Structure 1
């Protein structure tokens, strides 16, 4: 049974117990030919307890958390890698993107490094180029992540034309000091703190790999 199903059952338990207790008290009262004072007091206490259980169950139903409304992202699913990457980098990008797409709410993913788009995967946006707007540029300059919990209501969402047009939430995670990992979700407020830590760890791993292969390669070409 899924966790959400177990929680739903637990939230209904007070309601069921209270209703059952009330029915049993009524049956007991109807089947008792003569009511004593002590039984009357016990019945009154039972009615109060049943009412409290029912009230608790109703309150739990009201405060039950609701999952964010998910949408179907507009675009075609794809997997694009820059053709001139070393095989080790391609393997690392494929591994990292697969983990994020299968273990988080991410539905669209882009890796930008040294001004180049290295990877696009998931539901692809219409624009293949990534021109840093104010938000992405801030991530690249400050090397700090930005989580946009409700992208559709954000005035600056126009800069994210490289993501599906109805992307609901986004994380922009720096990759070292030379790039960024851009994630798009199909529901607002859907990335948990654990998801954000997961994204940060994968970005750090990518930073090491990309720095070893791409930066060293650039230095070697300059030296030659």
Structure 2
């Protein structure tokens, strides 16, 4: 079995993405016995191989890969940094906070769009690991409708009210996603609004907040308000720029 695991770990770096993904699924099926050799091999894998390794680590839900994952937010590959941050949050690896903080500081110094997937993953990880405070005003909090698998969500009929309250408390709404709650309780969709917007980071923060409020409200007005629709909102504080 050790030879089989070693072969599958090596195939994560295969030239063929299909071969690598097949190896990933096979490793997941073998369970926790694959962790030690995969942890040892992960630093030497290429970017796609590391993404496959992250998928295995997350699927197995074991904290042992914490040290291997903690090195990945320093990767040259933005997707590896993003996926590693998400895995560290999902696995509850609190010792990763310093490396995640460094990665987020580097992200901000580069002047990346704060709505970028990497930025969102780093913010979520720092928040879930207790290293970032989220400003959620009382009224917006009261309007929430917790949804399993989504966390905090808002009925689309109250989306504009939540946006207004966030902006009133100095929070810039970057985007939102709309989800459908099925009759079986499942969550479907996850599409953005018909209107996209971005921020000019060179403007004063109050102006950024005001412009985001205006665009977000326009997008909310164009959003269906059926009773089975909810929205998840992405917003940032001035400290996130």
Which range, TM-score by smaller chain?
under 0.3
- Structure number with the bigger relative contact order (C-alpha 8 A, sep ≥ 6) is 1
Output the TM-score relative to the length of structure 2.
0.20
| Structure with greater proportional helix content | 2
Decide which structure has the larger Cα Rg and report it. Answer: 1
Higher normalized strand content (fraction of residues)? 1
Q: Provide TM-score, normalisation by structure 1.
A: 0.22
